[in-house]
Amino acid sequence: MKPHVVIIGGGVTGLTAAFTLKQLASQENVALRCTVFEASSRLGGKILTHRERGFVMEGGPDSLLARKPEGTQLIRDLGIESEVVGSNTQSLKTYILHHGRLETMPPGTNMGIPAQIAPFASTKLLSPSGKARALMDLVLPKSTLEGDESLGHFLRRRLGDELVNNIVEPLLAGIYAGSVDELSLQATFPQFQTLESKYRSLILGSIAQRKNAPARTNTSGRSAFITLRGGLETLIERLYDNLQDFAELQTDTRVVALRKNSDGTYTVEVENQGETHAYPADAVILATPAFVTAQLLDPSLPEAGKLRQIHYVSTATVMLAYPKSRIDANLDASGFVIPRHENRAITACTWVSSKWPHTSPEDYVLIRCYVGRSGQTEALSLSDGDMASMVQGELKDILGIDAQPWFVKVTRWNDAMPQYGLNHIKVVKEVESALRQKLPGVLIAGAAYHGVGIPDCIAQGRLAGEKAYELTTTAAAPSGKASAPMVTS
């Protein structure tokens, strides 16, 4: 009987795990069975591209970081390198809303931390006292704190509140739709801690690093951010095509229970169209949000309850398309971000047709706004129509756009963004260690644990696939497993 690996969750993490299993099994000519169970009606999870009316519109992520090799490697493995598009290098600028006006983000910063003194000295985003406080970073001693601290606590003690509130927080926390004061330094931006320990000052460290690496384009001259011409969902579609002859990909199938059997194998119970089926498995990869993973593991692993400490934030994206002739605003940048204290429903705005010109017909302008972040979720309770009106009102205030959009598309992401709080790394390590000891054939992977970016998820999917392969092919596979599902209710 072929060993059977069950993957729960058909987002990019789960599909990459399946793809890795296929690669390894075919390299070594090993017979392996793989099933992916996905609760929703589509594969891809947070990766969702709408291709409509000549536009390529991302409802979820719009790009991946080119410098992280796992994303580009998967793109190569899938043979879609020719589809890669870099963000427009003519629109690298980012604006920040400040007292209701858009001000340019000072050039030469390391994620908001000054890496060049002149642009920082002249920015209108900070008062003279805010600048003076930030420059104290040059003389402040290293921290003697041990262990984790919040990203906000760390940045505030080095650079002061004003720089953090006006520049750094809207840039950094946006990645998590979070709050810098709640996110863990070690789990989100450990490189800042390294800068402090190596250079003492974040500014001096950023200046030193800048000498070795250009700020936003990589050495090949390509953009730091890449996407795929037909949208990021192309990645999911190619994974799907590639997995056809290897894995069973079952959508509309929710996993409701996971049990360890006395012979060391597992039983995965799923619900599909009102029926419950049980599947035997030699290894199981949970590539689900942490709260789902906790629920599935709880009965056999009480330590999994700790995963509930990983809170999730909801957000939404609002896409607006306008005829170019109706827009007077000069959309000469990738967009803007909005600090919390500006009290807007929009948290960030991408000028999609400027940043990614291939996404929009020549005569149209495409704008995407984010709504909702940790502690600012009121606008998410509005209906789609009211949220769109609120966003249009704010775009009028900020950009002077008075025109009616040709169409608006709202995509909601409820409980979608995992927050890496204090001690995140410790919590994940403890659960992983308990799994190794008590449920050795069960692995967890995905955005909740070791990085939320798509390349981080791909890396985790790959690693989980490799471990599941090792577990099922090096140990003698337990015998007597039924390969067909058993209907239990």
Ligand X SMILES: Cc1cc2nc3c(=O)[nH]c(=O)nc-3n(C[C@H](O)[C@H](O)[C@H](O)COP(=O)(O)OP(=O)(O)OC[C@H]3O[C@@H](n4cnc5c(N)ncnc54)[C@H](O)[C@@H]3O)c2cc1C
Our finding on whether 458 is near ligand X (CB under 6 A) is no
**Coil vs helix vs strand at 430:** helix
Binding residues among 263-292 for ligand X as defined by CB under 6 A:
287-289, 292
The site map against ligand X for 419-448 (x = CB under 6 A) is ---------------------------xx-
Our finding on whether 347 is near ligand X (CB under 6 A) is no
**Coil vs helix vs strand at 263:** coil
Least CB distance from residue 36 to ligand X, whole Å?
9
Least CB distance from residue 102 to ligand X, whole Å?
21
| Out of 22, 33, 46, 306, the residue judged to bind ligand X by CB under 6 A | 46
- Which one-letter DSSP state was computed for residue 217? B
Identity of the residue, 195 or 452, whose beta carbon is nearer to ligand X in the bound complex = 452
Torsion of CA 129, 135, 139, 143, to 10 degrees: 90
| Out of 32, 331, 457, 464, the residue judged to bind ligand X by CB under 6 A | 457
Residues linked to residue 22 through DSSP beta bridges, in sequence order: none
Total interface residues for ligand X by CB under 6 A: 36
Indicate the burial class of 386 (C-beta count within 10 angstroms; 0-12, 13-18, 19 or more): exposed
Please name which of 326, 323, 344, 360 lies closest in space to residue 395, comparing C-alpha atoms: 344
Distant-in-sequence contacts of 352-356, Cβ < 8 A, 24+ apart = 352/57, 352/62, 352/319, 354/88, 354/91, 355/87, 355/88, 355/91, 356/56, 356/62, 356/63, 356/85, 356/87, 356/88, 356/227
Identity of the residue, 161 or 271, whose beta carbon is nearer to ligand X in the bound complex = 271
| Helix, strand counts (H, E) of the chain | 16, 23
User: Which of the stretches 41-49, 202-210, 301-309, 391-399 binds ligand X when contact is defined by CB under 6 A?
Assistant: 41-49
Instruction: Judge contact between 62 and 359, C-beta under 8 A.
Output: no
User: Which of the stretches 58-66, 90-98, 134-142, 462-470 binds ligand X when contact is defined by CB under 6 A?
Assistant: 58-66
Least CB distance from residue 289 to ligand X, whole Å?
6
Our finding on whether 206 is near ligand X (CB under 6 A) is no
Our finding on whether 416 is near ligand X (CB under 6 A) is yes
Least CB distance from residue 59 to ligand X, whole Å?
7
Here the tokens at position 362 are: 């020549």
Cα 385 → chain centroid: 27
The kind and range of the H/E element at 228 are strand 225-228
Residue with the CB atom nearest ligand X in the bound state: 45
Here the tokens at position 484 are: 């067909």
Total residues belonging to the chain:
489
Our finding on whether 63 is near ligand X (CB under 6 A) is yes
Identity of the residue, 39 or 125, whose beta carbon is nearer to ligand X in the bound complex = 39
Q: Determine the straight-line distance between the first and last CA of the chain, rounded to whole angstroms.
A: 26
Our finding on whether 170 is near ligand X (CB under 6 A) is no
| Out of 3, 9, 160, 421, the residue judged to bind ligand X by CB under 6 A | 9
Our finding on whether 12 is near ligand X (CB under 6 A) is yes
User: Which of the stretches 45-53, 130-138, 178-186, 318-326 binds ligand X when contact is defined by CB under 6 A?
Assistant: 45-53
Identity of the residue, 67 or 200, whose beta carbon is nearer to ligand X in the bound complex = 67
The site map against ligand X for 290-309 (x = CB under 6 A) is --x-----------------
| Out of 384, 453, 466, 475, the residue judged to bind ligand X by CB under 6 A | 453
Supply the DSSP string of 361-418, one letter for each residue: -TTEEEEEEEE-BTTB-GGGGS-HHHHHHHHHHHHHHHH---SPPSEEEEEEEEEEEE
User: Which of the stretches 72-80, 234-242, 410-418, 429-437 binds ligand X when contact is defined by CB under 6 A?
Assistant: 410-418
Our finding on whether 126 is near ligand X (CB under 6 A) is no
Our finding on whether 413 is near ligand X (CB under 6 A) is yes
Identity of the residue, 9 or 152, whose beta carbon is nearer to ligand X in the bound complex = 9
Here the tokens at position 122 are: 């002249």
Here the tokens at position 145 are: 């704190």
- Which one-letter DSSP state was computed for residue 199? H
Binding residues for ligand X, rule: CB under 6 A, are 8-14, 37-40, 45-47, 60-64, 254-255, 287-289, 292, 315, 317, 413, 416-417, 446-447, 452-454, 457
